[in-house]
Amino acid sequence: MRIFSGIQPSGTIHIGNYFGMIKKMIESQNEGELFAFLASYHALTSVKSKELLEKNSYEAAINFLALGMDPEKSTFWIQHDVKEVLELYWILSNHTSMGLLERAHSYKDKTARGIQANHGLFSYPVLMAADILLFDSNIIPVGKDQIQHVEMTRDIANSFNHAYSKEIFVLPEARVDEIVATVPGTDGAKMSKSYNNTIDMFTSLKDRKKQVMGIVTDSKELNEVKEWENCNIYSISKLFMNENELANLRQRYETPGEGYGHFKMTLLEKINEYFAPYEEKREYYLNNKKEVREILEFGASKARKIASAKMEIVKDCVGLI
């Protein structure tokens, strides 16, 4: 069974990415063959600065490695090192209807927010289909916002298989963990780089404190009983606390005397504690970027073998002599 997923190096990685996808991927290394990559070509749809893309790419790679990505056991690379994906992208474009792309939520959301659409943004799902189909991937661990893209991948694969009456592409399935399908941000909306409501995974203690202290709550006073059910602090605490700790927190909400600032401090400590064990390894890679680049290149060399064999089959199938 092949498990496959990717992340765009388009900004600092946040706890939504972590619980929605990264954690599941790292854990899945014991379950099947893991293929994990950094979607650098996809990031070009939003990042238009050389320095920023380079910085984000290293950071994403380093975070994965610090969190336990094993480059020997798994295949871990950066998208643009395996050029076959662009060949497949073009071939698949000819099996993707305009209507399918026009229905994509992420495209519709971005244009609704006034982002000028270009062809890269519009055809984003075709490149994502190429990523997945190039590797005969079975399971795609993702957050809820990517389910539609995986469904579109199935549509494109079906359309291709049907056109040539051959089962060339494996139909992938999205794997979404309901509890963390959509991790809320500091304002209660989906945590997202584009909404500026993130709590970042690795950041300075000062910045993390600022993010946690910025969690939006109602304006109940210290001496009032508070509701934990719809409280953003509680929703995020659920990711970091066990049942006993949560029961204790609920009790504190129900007992007058403490304010939201106290609950935020408890959460902040839990988050700091959670990521602390990975800091040392992260620091090591931050000081050894050349090694990080070599690890990605090693991953690409493994990925390319599979990708080029698949492209031989695809090209033969469509008649590219």
Distances in Å between the alpha carbon of 124 and those of 50, 75, 282?
Answer: 20, 23, 31
CB of 191 to ligand TYM, least distance (A): 4
Is 190 in the active site? Answer: yes
Q: CA of 64: how far to CAs of 69, 71, 157, in Å?
A: 6, 10, 29
What whole-number distance in Å separates Cα of residue 294 and Cα of residue 169? 31
104, 132, 157, 296: residue in contact with ligand TYM (rule CB under 6 A): 132
What are the structure tokens assigned to 235, written together? Answer: 């929703």
Of 77, 10, 67, the C-alpha closest to 294 is 77
Q: Does 142 bind ligand TYM (CB under 6 A)?
A: yes
Interatomic CA distance for residues 192 and 14, integer angstroms? 8
In the complex, minimum distance from the CB of residue 97 to ligand TYM, in angstroms, rounded to a whole number: 20
Q: Which stretch binds ligand TYM (CB under 6 A): 16-24, 62-70, 251-259, 309-317?
A: 16-24
Burial 134-170 (b: 16+ CB within 10 A, else e): bbebbbbbbbbbbbebbebbbbbbebbbeeeeeebbb
Binding mask 164-183 for ligand TYM (x = CB under 6 A): ----------------x-xx
Which residues inside 21-60 make contact with ligand TYM, applying CB under 6 A?
A: 21, 39, 42
Angle between the N-to-C axes of helices 289-318 and 50-67, in degrees from 0 to 180, rounded to the nearest 10: 100
Which of 12, 20, 56, 236 forms a contact with ligand TYM (CB under 6 A)?
Answer: 20
Which x/- pattern, by CB under 6 A, does the window 188-217 give for ligand TYM? --xxx-------------------------
Sign of the CA dihedral with 264 first, then 265, 270, and 276 last: positive
Say whether residue 143 binds ligand TYM (CB under 6 A): yes
* Whether 193 is catalytic: yes
* Listed ranges 63-71, 127-135, 250-258, 297-305: which one lies at the site for ligand TYM (CB under 6 A): 127-135
Q: Given 23, 24, 48, 110, which residue is catalytic?
A: 110
Q: Point out the catalytic residue in the list 23, 24, 193, 264.
A: 193
Given the residues 190, 226, 264, 310, the one annotated as active site:
190
* Site size with ligand TYM, rule: CB under 6 A: 25
Of 160, 37, 33, 166, nearest to 88 (Cα)?
160
Residue 48 known to be catalytic: no
Buried b (16+ CB within 10 A) or exposed e, 31-62: eebbbbbbbbbbbbbbbeeeeebeebbbbbbb
Q: Does 8 bind ligand TYM (CB under 6 A)?
A: yes
Judged by CB under 6 A, the stretch of 5-13, 48-56, 271-279, 301-309 that binds ligand TYM is: 5-13
Q: How far apart are CA 167 and CA 93, in angstroms?
A: 18
Provide the binding-site residues for ligand TYM, judged by CB under 6 A.
Answer: 5-8, 16-17, 20-21, 39, 42, 128, 131-132, 140, 142-143, 145-146, 149, 180, 182-183, 190-192
Residues designated catalytic: 110, 190, 193
